[in-house]
Protein backbone atom coordinates (compact mmCIF):
# COMPACT_ATOMS: atom_id res chain seq x y z
CA UNK A 1 0.00 0.00 0.00
CA UNK A 2 1.10 3.57 -0.72
CA UNK A 3 0.70 6.19 2.01
CA UNK A 4 1.18 9.84 0.95
CA UNK A 5 2.84 12.11 3.51
CA UNK A 6 1.96 15.55 4.81
CA UNK A 7 4.82 17.04 6.85
CA UNK A 8 4.00 20.23 8.74
CA UNK A 9 6.36 23.05 9.70
CA UNK A 10 5.45 26.62 10.63
CA UNK A 11 1.88 25.93 9.57
CA UNK A 12 2.94 24.88 6.08
CA UNK A 13 3.31 21.60 4.20
CA UNK A 14 7.02 21.04 3.54
CA UNK A 15 9.51 18.48 2.35
CA UNK A 16 12.96 18.30 3.93
CA UNK A 17 16.19 16.63 2.87
CA UNK A 18 17.41 14.29 5.64
CA UNK A 19 15.16 16.11 8.08
CA UNK A 20 17.19 19.32 7.97
CA UNK A 21 17.16 21.37 4.77
CA UNK A 22 13.79 22.53 3.47
CA UNK A 23 13.62 21.57 -0.18
CA UNK A 24 10.13 22.77 -1.04
CA UNK A 25 6.72 23.81 0.21
CA UNK A 26 3.54 22.08 -0.90
CA UNK A 27 0.05 23.45 -1.28
CA UNK A 28 -2.09 24.19 1.77
CA UNK A 29 -2.79 21.24 4.08
CA UNK A 30 -6.41 21.02 2.92
CA UNK A 31 -5.38 21.18 -0.74
CA UNK A 32 -2.91 18.36 -0.20
CA UNK A 33 -5.66 16.41 1.52
CA UNK A 34 -7.84 16.94 -1.56
CA UNK A 35 -5.05 15.71 -3.84
CA UNK A 36 -4.60 12.61 -1.68
CA UNK A 37 -8.31 11.80 -1.36
CA UNK A 38 -8.00 8.62 -3.47
CA UNK A 39 -5.67 7.07 -0.88
CA UNK A 40 -7.18 5.24 2.11
CA UNK A 41 -4.59 6.47 4.62
CA UNK A 42 -2.36 9.54 4.94
CA UNK A 43 0.67 10.07 7.14
CA UNK A 44 0.84 13.41 8.99
CA UNK A 45 4.02 14.42 10.82
CA UNK A 46 4.35 17.60 12.89
CA UNK A 47 8.00 18.43 12.31
CA UNK A 48 7.98 21.39 14.70
CA UNK A 49 6.78 19.13 17.51
CA UNK A 50 9.36 16.50 16.54
CA UNK A 51 12.27 18.90 17.04
CA UNK A 52 10.68 20.59 20.05
CA UNK A 53 10.11 23.99 18.43
CA UNK A 54 6.38 24.54 18.63
CA UNK A 55 3.50 22.50 17.27
CA UNK A 56 0.81 22.45 14.60
CA UNK A 57 -1.95 20.94 16.73
CA UNK A 58 -4.83 22.75 15.04
CA UNK A 59 -3.73 21.59 11.59
CA UNK A 60 -3.26 18.00 12.74
CA UNK A 61 -6.74 18.07 14.26
CA UNK A 62 -8.19 19.57 11.07
CA UNK A 63 -6.65 16.85 8.92
CA UNK A 64 -7.57 14.08 11.35
CA UNK A 65 -11.18 15.19 11.24
CA UNK A 66 -11.32 14.93 7.46
CA UNK A 67 -9.26 11.87 6.58
CA UNK A 68 -7.98 8.53 7.85
CA UNK A 69 -4.54 9.51 9.16
CA UNK A 70 -1.64 8.21 11.16
CA UNK A 71 -0.10 11.08 13.12
CA UNK A 72 3.26 11.66 14.72
CA UNK A 73 5.81 14.22 15.76
CA UNK A 74 6.62 15.10 19.36
CA UNK A 75 4.65 12.26 20.95
CA UNK A 76 6.55 12.19 24.23
CA UNK A 77 3.72 11.52 26.68
CA UNK A 78 0.77 9.18 26.94
CA UNK A 79 -1.42 12.30 27.15
CA UNK A 80 -0.14 13.50 23.77
CA UNK A 81 -0.86 10.10 22.24
CA UNK A 82 -4.37 10.15 23.69
CA UNK A 83 -4.97 13.65 22.38
CA UNK A 84 -4.08 12.62 18.82
CA UNK A 85 -6.55 9.74 19.02
CA UNK A 86 -9.19 12.10 20.39
CA UNK A 87 -8.51 14.45 17.47
CA UNK A 88 -9.28 11.61 15.08
CA UNK A 89 -5.95 9.92 14.29
CA UNK A 90 -6.27 6.19 13.66
CA UNK A 91 -2.66 5.45 14.64
CA UNK A 92 -0.03 7.34 16.61
CA UNK A 93 3.61 7.32 15.53
CA UNK A 94 6.12 7.32 18.41
CA UNK A 95 9.81 7.84 17.75
CA UNK A 96 12.09 9.61 20.23
CA UNK A 97 10.15 8.67 23.36
CA UNK A 98 10.22 4.99 22.42
CA UNK A 99 13.93 4.87 23.28
CA UNK A 100 16.35 5.54 26.08
CA UNK A 101 20.05 5.82 25.37
CA UNK A 102 20.50 2.11 26.01
CA UNK A 103 17.41 0.55 24.43
CA UNK A 104 13.63 0.60 24.27
CA UNK A 105 11.86 2.85 26.79
CA UNK A 106 9.55 0.13 28.03
CA UNK A 107 7.96 2.16 30.81
CA UNK A 108 6.81 4.90 28.45
CA UNK A 109 5.64 2.43 25.83
CA UNK A 110 3.58 0.57 28.43
CA UNK A 111 1.98 3.87 29.48
CA UNK A 112 1.19 4.79 25.89
CA UNK A 113 -0.20 1.33 25.22
CA UNK A 114 -2.41 1.54 28.30
CA UNK A 115 -3.69 4.92 27.10
CA UNK A 116 -4.55 4.11 23.47
CA UNK A 117 -3.88 0.40 22.94
CA UNK A 118 -0.64 -1.04 21.61
CA UNK A 119 -2.30 -1.93 18.29
CA UNK A 120 -2.72 1.79 17.55
CA UNK A 121 0.93 2.57 18.20
CA UNK A 122 3.38 2.71 15.30
CA UNK A 123 7.00 2.87 16.47
CA UNK A 124 9.33 4.88 14.27
CA UNK A 125 12.66 3.20 13.61
CA UNK A 126 14.59 5.94 11.83
CA UNK A 127 18.09 4.93 10.80
CA UNK A 128 21.09 6.95 9.66
CA UNK A 129 24.55 5.47 9.09
CA UNK A 130 23.29 2.23 10.60
CA UNK A 131 22.09 3.75 13.88
CA UNK A 132 18.68 4.79 15.17
CA UNK A 133 18.24 8.56 15.19
CA UNK A 134 15.83 10.56 17.35
CA UNK A 135 14.83 14.17 18.15
CA UNK A 136 13.99 15.02 14.57
CA UNK A 137 16.92 12.87 13.39
CA UNK A 138 19.35 15.18 15.15
CA UNK A 139 20.65 12.71 17.75
CA UNK A 140 22.05 9.24 17.15
CA UNK A 141 21.75 6.26 19.51
CA UNK A 142 24.14 3.34 19.72
CA UNK A 143 21.35 1.04 18.56
CA UNK A 144 20.60 -0.60 15.21
CA UNK A 145 17.01 -1.01 14.10
CA UNK A 146 17.57 -4.65 13.19
CA UNK A 147 18.73 -5.42 16.71
CA UNK A 148 15.77 -3.95 18.61
CA UNK A 149 12.78 -4.35 16.31
CA UNK A 150 11.71 -7.73 17.70
CA UNK A 151 12.11 -6.46 21.26
CA UNK A 152 9.64 -3.67 20.45
CA UNK A 153 6.91 -5.91 19.05
CA UNK A 154 4.88 -6.23 22.28
CA UNK A 155 4.50 -2.45 22.50
CA UNK A 156 3.09 -1.65 19.06
CA UNK A 157 1.01 -2.86 16.15
CA UNK A 158 3.37 -1.74 13.38
CA UNK A 159 6.63 0.02 12.50
CA UNK A 160 7.52 3.06 10.43
CA UNK A 161 11.08 2.52 9.23
CA UNK A 162 12.85 5.46 7.59
CA UNK A 163 16.17 5.15 5.80
CA UNK A 164 17.31 8.67 6.66
CA UNK A 165 20.54 8.44 4.62
CA UNK A 166 18.45 8.83 1.46
CA UNK A 167 15.49 10.80 2.80
CA UNK A 168 14.39 13.46 0.33
CA UNK A 169 17.35 12.86 -1.98
CA UNK A 170 15.47 11.10 -4.81
CA UNK A 171 18.24 8.51 -5.16
CA UNK A 172 16.37 5.33 -4.32
CA UNK A 173 16.38 3.54 -1.00
CA UNK A 174 18.20 0.59 0.61
CA UNK A 175 16.05 -2.44 -0.15
CA UNK A 176 18.56 -4.70 1.59
CA UNK A 177 17.97 -2.88 4.88
CA UNK A 178 14.24 -3.21 4.54
CA UNK A 179 14.57 -6.91 3.73
CA UNK A 180 16.58 -7.44 6.93
CA UNK A 181 13.88 -5.66 8.91
CA UNK A 182 11.18 -7.73 7.24
CA UNK A 183 13.01 -10.90 8.23
CA UNK A 184 13.32 -9.67 11.82
CA UNK A 185 9.63 -9.03 12.56
CA UNK A 186 6.18 -10.28 11.74
CA UNK A 187 4.63 -6.86 12.42
CA UNK A 188 3.46 -4.59 9.61
CA UNK A 189 6.18 -2.29 8.26
CA UNK A 190 5.91 0.98 6.38
CA UNK A 191 9.07 2.07 4.57
CA UNK A 192 10.16 5.66 4.02
CA UNK A 193 13.27 7.45 2.86
CA UNK A 194 14.46 7.73 -0.72
CA UNK A 195 11.60 5.82 -2.35
CA UNK A 196 11.72 7.35 -5.82
CA UNK A 197 10.17 5.09 -8.46
CA UNK A 198 7.23 2.76 -8.83
CA UNK A 199 9.80 -0.04 -9.11
CA UNK A 200 10.92 0.83 -5.57
CA UNK A 201 7.29 0.61 -4.44
CA UNK A 202 6.81 -2.73 -6.20
CA UNK A 203 10.00 -4.15 -4.67
CA UNK A 204 8.84 -3.17 -1.20
CA UNK A 205 5.42 -4.64 -1.89
CA UNK A 206 7.09 -7.94 -2.76
CA UNK A 207 8.62 -7.82 0.72
CA UNK A 208 5.13 -7.16 2.14
CA UNK A 209 6.15 -3.64 3.13
CA UNK A 210 4.07 -0.51 2.57
CA UNK A 211 5.59 2.69 1.16
CA UNK A 212 5.24 6.19 2.61
CA UNK A 213 5.91 8.70 -0.17
CA UNK A 214 6.82 12.36 0.10
CA UNK A 215 9.41 14.02 -2.12
CA UNK A 216 8.73 11.80 -5.15
CA UNK A 217 5.10 12.94 -5.09
CA UNK A 218 5.71 16.61 -4.35
CA UNK A 219 8.27 16.99 -7.14
CA UNK A 220 6.03 15.21 -9.64
CA UNK A 221 8.50 12.36 -10.11
CA UNK A 222 5.64 9.98 -9.36
CA UNK A 223 2.17 10.58 -10.75
CA UNK A 224 -0.63 10.60 -8.18
CA UNK A 225 -3.20 9.06 -10.53
CA UNK A 226 -0.85 6.22 -11.41
CA UNK A 227 -0.04 5.64 -7.75
CA UNK A 228 -3.72 5.65 -6.78
CA UNK A 229 -4.52 3.15 -9.55
CA UNK A 230 -1.67 0.87 -8.42
CA UNK A 231 -2.85 1.15 -4.83
CA UNK A 232 -6.41 0.27 -5.78
CA UNK A 233 -5.20 -2.72 -7.78
CA UNK A 234 -3.16 -4.03 -4.85
CA UNK A 235 -6.04 -3.54 -2.43
CA UNK A 236 -8.40 -5.34 -4.80
CA UNK A 237 -6.19 -8.43 -4.77
CA UNK A 238 -6.05 -8.65 -0.98
Whether 117 contacts 88, CB under 8 Å: no
Return d(Cα 33, Cα 181) in angstroms, integer: 30
Return d(Cα 226, Cα 230) in angstroms, integer: 6
The catalytically annotated residue of 7, 46, 200, 210 is 7
Surface-to-core class of residue 141, CB atoms within 10 Å of its CB (0-12 exposed, 13-18 middle, 19+ buried)? middle
Whether 222 contacts 13, CB under 8 Å: no
Secondary-structure breakdown of the chain: helix, strand, coil percentages, each rounded to the nearest 5 = 40, 25, 30
Return d(Cα 11, Cα 97) in angstroms, integer: 24
DSSP 8-class letter at 99:
B
**7 counts as catalytic:** yes
The catalytically annotated residue of 46, 57, 119, 126 is 126
Whether 164 contacts 137, CB under 8 Å: yes
Its sign, for the CA torsion 113, 149, 143, 54, is: negative
Q: What is the largest CA-CA distance in the chain?
A: 44
Q: Which sequence positions are flagged as catalytic?
A: 7, 126
Amino acid sequence: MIIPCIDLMDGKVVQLVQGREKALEGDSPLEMLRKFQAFPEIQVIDLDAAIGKGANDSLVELLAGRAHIRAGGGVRSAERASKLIEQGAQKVIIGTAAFSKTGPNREFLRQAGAAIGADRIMIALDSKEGRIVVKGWRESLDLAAEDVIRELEPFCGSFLCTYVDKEGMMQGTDLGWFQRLREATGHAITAAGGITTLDDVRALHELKIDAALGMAIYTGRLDLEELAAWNAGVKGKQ
